[in-house]
Amino acid sequence: ICRSDTRTVYIANKFPQHGHYIPQRFSDNRIISSKYTIWNFIPKNLFEQFRRIANFYFLIIFLVQVSPDHTPTSPITSGLPLFFVITVTAIKQGYEDWLRHKADNEVNGAPVFVVRSGSLVQTRSKNIRVGDIVRVAKDETFPADLVLLSSDRAEGTCHITTASLDGETNLKTHYSVPETAVSQSVSRLESLQAVVECQQPEADLYRFVGRITVTQQGEEIVRPLGPENLLLRGARLKNTKEIFGVAVYTGMESKMALNYKCKSQKRSAVEKSMNTFLIIYLGILLFEAILSTILKYAWQAENKWDEPFYNQKTDQERNSSQILKFISDFLAFLVLYNFIIPISLYVTVELQKFLGSFFIGWDLDLYHEESDQKAQVNTSDLNEELGQVEYVFTDKTGTLTENEMQFRECSINGIKYQEINGKLVPEGMTEDSPDGSNREEELFLKAVSLCHTVQISYDQTDGPGDPFSHANGFSPQMEYYASSPDEKALVEATKRVGVTFIGIVFNSYLSARRYKLLHVLEFDANRRRMSVILQKPSGEKVLFTKGAESAILPYTTSGEIDKTRVHVDEFALKGLRTLVVACRHFSADEYQEVDRRLHEARTALQQREERLVEVFSFIEKDLELLGATGVEDKLQDKVQETIEALRLAGIKVWVLTGDKHETAVSVSLSCGHFHRTMNILELVQQKSDNEETNCRTNCLCRIKEDHVIQHGLVVDGASLSLVGHLTLLKPITLAIGDGANDVSMIQEAHVGIGIMGKEGRQAVRNSDYAIARFKFLAKLLLVHGHFYYIRIATLVQYFFYKNVCFITPQFLYQFFCLFSQQVSVSPSHHFMSFSFEIFSYSGVSFLQMFGNWTFGTLVFTVMVITVTLKLAIETHFWTWMNHFVTWGSIAFYFIFSLFYGGIIWPFLHTQDMYFVFVQLLSSGSAWFAIIIIVITCLFPDVIKKVFYRHLQPTSTQKSQVSVRFPPQTLEL
């Protein structure tokens, strides 16, 4: 693929026929999200699986067992469980990847229409090439990144929704250049001579720099191209019958593919600790194997134990290398004790997480009836992480609030106004007061109703015709759409007070007056404002701008600045979202200079953003202050109770908002995040090193000095780097939000929660869990998370406990058999065949061999009963399933052992356990030993449980007692 600074796209692939032109090679239009292919699945999947410590460990053990030297156990004891685990995991991952292949094939095989050879041809999406002219109809998605050439609208515009890309549900308007907008038929498009020059692909959805050169009658006309001209793959066409566009980015080079961030595999703290435990137990295993090997050679230092009369060595054994013999014995002990590492732990944990995740979706307390939405689990790997969260980072708008903006107050020329029954009424007056509207009020309303990116959707019966065709210039069938709910609320508010915006696209209409839209100075996070340049009906050019207080007031030269600033602070303290509005009138010469600079900056292929920022700064100055607005975003239900519950649980909550810090404090107070008695510390606008050091020192000192007073901390973006000095080093974090702008923090946090809000589904799709309302977070963390953590922690500890109980008798048995690597556990207990050497320090006889298996069976029976009853002791809540599994496990062991040892199986190589178990159970002393040993093993656990329950009961145990034995009241 060619990777120069820019790419040249010849529309309809009309390459120049002169010179030595070599066509650039571009990516095809296939989307590939799958991980494997038929050819690389086995090696790639095996490589990934054996990166797990447990799998790699058992692979080594299996290779040792299949070595030529005899080992105490059969390779099947490690190979079969390993094969089962690897196979099950591979099937699961292969199935998931097959689903991705299936989804890719559906996308790549979708039918599309392209203009080729003078006609409209249907083909598959994967066959689109860079330079092809593609036709897209209403409600269809764009199959590639297209530069808009024309539409069925006379002005060459179209409306799209990008909800699948950035979560924004509003309709956005995109434009074609005038020279191509007239090409609305296949024949005219086929005759179009044009070249698009643009930047190479990048992931930023909102950045596109290019230009189109159209040749008409031998003259080349150059027009700038920006994000408003680019139709992104995955976006959907709305309110437009059809459009034609030229493909500039295809396949994996489209912005959707480049912007797609595959969610990194998050691992819970428990899973990380499991790896740590495995390493620790591996160390224990190595220690036991080395100790056993050393003790074996210590015993064999005496000739009677090294070469007894019944086990004479061969010449080869006498002459073999001592080092090789030591290594061989060490590996034999390693194999003998290898079951201290639980190979089935990962599979069991994943199964427990998968089945446990269904409880979240089944919980009716997490079901939102109004929207018919239940809690959603996108990954079950982090269930227990929900119960260990220390910090919650939450978005404000749409997460804590309803994201339904309502206009409340405004300040015009230093006077506060409120909306009362469809009228703007100055503070202290009533709606019956005489209408005293003046020039300042009219100009303010014009600015608010025209300075925005609001679009209008008309009912099909109306159609998008001339708005003046409607009575009184307004159609009741039209509906406002906006990328920002603030803008929509303000436009609707001006309509209620009598100033109605009914314009679309290039022409805006206000009170039966036509305003021509000349330029839009788009909003960006650095400027924190947006502006429009309009031409009045009189021909005068005017700029209207609105933005944050800090982005407008420093650039104003007139107006009631001090009063407006006071009113903005008052609005913020009430929890209102504030915007400041201003304007600037241009002379003819000034506008000519502005138009020239904007054209040069927008047609530049290099450093366009920097040049635009410079021009915007040149334009947005010497402003006349008009006023400010205050819009309310209502809090969701039970936000205050939820935050309070999280705070009482010891969880620190950080609310993230783009509002000014006064608004942040006010909202925090209203939602219970801050309390009136709190000491509010502000860490804002800290830029110099000295300021940072002093502020950090002061904050830390004040927090350390006050041990009783609670503190609330307000931090702005410029000072955010200091937060790391005020918090823990590596806390478990949770991020929750509802919009596409929250996706980054949702993916970066240990646990990401998506709110099923009104800003699309991008946050939900990229989250680990999704809930309908913020209030559900309390039960998700404090109930489900708490229980999941207890379950998984108990499960992991129990697994290691079980395996230690299984292998410790084998280790101790080696002291009895002089470290001869003799197994004490029979083949039936491993459910495998074992190969072993017969060794006895006092002589060999049939009765002694029978006694060996009887003793091993007795020990194993005690172990099975003990570890099962241990699980019963640790069980907090009993159901029929618990009873069935617990007592059924013990019953199954007895039934299987009797069945296995009571029949001669012809397909088994050896059957050393024939009738051993029956003989064991027929002995009263064996039953007595089993009962006594089991009671002795479990007695400390029972005593500990009783002791702690009565002397140091937990909150849960106290609640259990209060429910079972409620306090009695006596009446006298």
Annotated catalytic sites, by residue?
A: 395
Cα separations in angstroms, 23 against 17, 26, 130, 605 = 11, 9, 11, 21
The answer to whether 949 is annotated as binding is no
The answer to whether 526 is annotated as binding is no
Closest CA to 248 of 188, 208, 190: 208
The answer to whether 738 is annotated as binding is yes
Query: Could you tell me whether strands 623-635 and 401-412 are parallel, antiparallel, or unpaired per DSSP bridges?
Result: antiparallel
The answer to whether 523 is annotated as binding is yes
Dihedral (C-alpha) 232, 238, 239, 244: value to the nearest 10 degrees? 40
The answer to whether 127 is annotated as binding is no
Cα separations in angstroms, 427 against 413, 415, 418, 419, 739 = 13, 7, 7, 10, 36
Which pair of structure tokens corresponds to residue 138? 């209403």
The answer to whether 261 is annotated as binding is no
Cα separations in angstroms, 404 against 162, 292, 490, 633 = 20, 72, 12, 6
Q: Which 3 state secondary structure label does DSSP give 426? A: strand
Residues contacting 505, CB < 8 A, separation 6+: 155, 157, 173, 517
Q: Do residues 600 and 618 touch, judged by C-beta distance below 8 A?
A: no
Q: Which 3 state secondary structure label does DSSP give 485? A: helix
Which pair of structure tokens corresponds to residue 176? 């074609």
d(CA 246, CA 244): 7
Dihedral (C-alpha) 42, 47, 51, 57: value to the nearest 10 degrees? 80
The answer to whether 577 is annotated as binding is yes
d(CA 856, CA 853): 5
Q: Do residues 57 and 282 touch, judged by C-beta distance below 8 A?
A: yes
The answer to whether 659 is annotated as binding is yes
Dihedral sign (CA 874, 880, 881, 883): positive
Exposure letters 505-518 (e unless 16+ CB within 10 A, then b): beebbbeeeebebb
The answer to whether 657 is annotated as binding is yes
DSSP 654-706: EEE-SS-HHHHHHHHHHTTSS-TTSEEEEE-S--SHHHHHHHHHHHHHHHHH-
Q: Around Cβ 447, how many Cβ atoms within 10 Å?
A: 24
Cα separations in angstroms, 829 against 370, 824, 863 = 56, 10, 11
The answer to whether 413 is annotated as binding is no
Residue list for the binding site for Mg(2+): 395, 397, 738, 742
Residue list for the binding site: 395-397, 487, 523, 546, 577, 657-659, 738, 741-742
Residue list for the binding site for ATP: 395-397, 487, 523, 546, 577, 657-659, 741-742
